[in-house]
Amino acid sequence: MSTSSYRAEEGTVQGHLDIARYITTPKGEIAGKVLLVDDLADSGKTLKAVIDMLRRNYAPITEMRSAVIWTKALSTFETDYSVEFLPTNPWIHQPFEGYDALTPEKLLQKWKV
Domain ranges, ordered by start, for the chain:
3-93
What pLDDT is recorded for position 14? 65
- Which ranges constitute the DSSP H helices of 23-88? 45-57
Q: Can you tell me whether residue 68 is helix, strand or coil?
A: strand
End-to-end CA distance of the chain, in Å?
29
37-61 pLDDT, tens digit each: 999 999 899 999 999 999 999 999 9
Contact 43, 14 (CB under 8 A): yes
93-105 pLDDT, tens digit each: 888 777 777 888 8
Domain with residues 3-93, CATH architecture:
3-Layer(aba) Sandwich (3.40)
pTM of the predicted protein model: 0.75
